[in-house]
Copies of this chain bind each other. A is one copy, B any other.
Amino acid sequence: MEDFTQFCTSWRPQINRYLHEQISREVKQAELREGMLYSLDAGGKRLRPLLALATLKTFQAQVDLKPYLRIFGAIELIHTYSLIHDDLPEMDNDDYRRGKLTNHKYFSVGRAVLAGDALLTQAFFWLSDNNLDSSLKSALIQTLSQAAGPQGMVAGQMLDIINTGRTLDYPVIRQLDAQKTGALLQASVLMGALCAQANSSQRQHLQQFAGSYGIAFQIYDDLLDLQSTSQAMGKAVGKDAVAGKNTYPQLLGISQAQKKLQELIREAQRQLQALQLDTSLLDSSLDYFKQE
């Protein structure tokens, strides 16, 4: 099976095109469409839909992935809404994202709040308005709403803003990241597994894979924030420390954080092995953390 990097190179442009074309077609109100497209078209790795597609393909090598762009594109709508709202002045107060002005800096806070609200709601429209079987639709909606809402991502963002400036210990940061970043990554993999009709033991291994992946992702991102230059990231760097954000390297020290990252990757690999399938595509998704 192909490598995750190649897989991303071939599917990312299709995800981008789908997101752009559908929102352009479905959203008639000009300012809202413009606000939604501004952030959707700003790029991004599209990691969440790509992980979902890769999970589905791991179970069904011959599946036609095109019809699933709407299903997994919904996850990217939610991810994009969360970035717009997180960047707001009374949240993380970011002026730049992916090398462009943030949505509220380019338009206004009011318009950015509404663009986010619209993306979030449209995600559930996409998940209900498609050709899948009804029971699969509602399982997908349940999974995504639980992961994105007050039992998941929004709770993590609340923990984040109320604790900025305070020093947290490891279990609390881990809880925060599990909700803020991990829940949506986990939902992505789980949604791929639901579409593939994976059984409950397989879904459990995949959830644990995605759990480790999510924390690894956050530690890697924290390390990157410390090490890379402002130019390469397209956003302000070293900003976490300035903003009093709690990060893994700050808490554990850089070398312990790197060690923890390696442990999480090994744990993620073990969960994939337990599936007893050709998991080379998902295995190679972990290579991301080995890049310099």
Contacts and interface: CB of A to CB of B under 8 A. Distances in A.
Contact of A151 (B27, B114, B124, B158): B27
A122 B150 contact: yes
A292 interface: no
Interface string A116-150: 11101110110111000111011101100110111
A108 interface: yes
B137 A110 contact: no
B124 A124 contact: yes
A155 B28 contact: yes
Contacts of A91: 110, 113
Interface in A37-94: 81, 85, 88-91
A150 B29 contact: yes
Contacts of A26: 150-151
Contact of A150 (B33, B108, B111, B127): B33
Contacts of A113: 85, 88, 90-91, 113
Contacts of A81: 117
A29 B155 contact: yes
Interface residues of A, number: 54
A207 interface: no
A141 B67 CA distance: 20
B150 A27 contact: yes
Contacts of A275: none
A36 interface: yes
A161 interface: yes
Contact of A124 (B32, B89, B145): B145
B31 A158 contact: yes
Given A150-B26, A150-B36, A121 B120 contact: yes
Contacts of A128: 138-139, 141-142, 145
Contacts of A101: none
Q: Which A-B residue pairs are the 8 nearest by beta carbons? A: A121-B149, A134-B134, A29-B155, A118-B150, A90-B110, A125-B145, A128-B142, A90-B109
Interface of A: 26-29, 31-33, 35-36, 81, 85, 88-91, 108-111, 113-114, 116-118, 120-122, 124-125, 127-129, 133-135, 137-139, 141-142, 145-146, 148-151, 154-155, 157-159, 161-162, 179
Given A134-B138, A138-B138, 15 more contacts: A26-B151, A32-B150, A32-B158, A35-B158, A85-B114, A114-B154, A117-B149, A118-B150, A120-B120, A124-B124, A124-B145, A124-B149, A125-B149, A128-B142, A129-B142
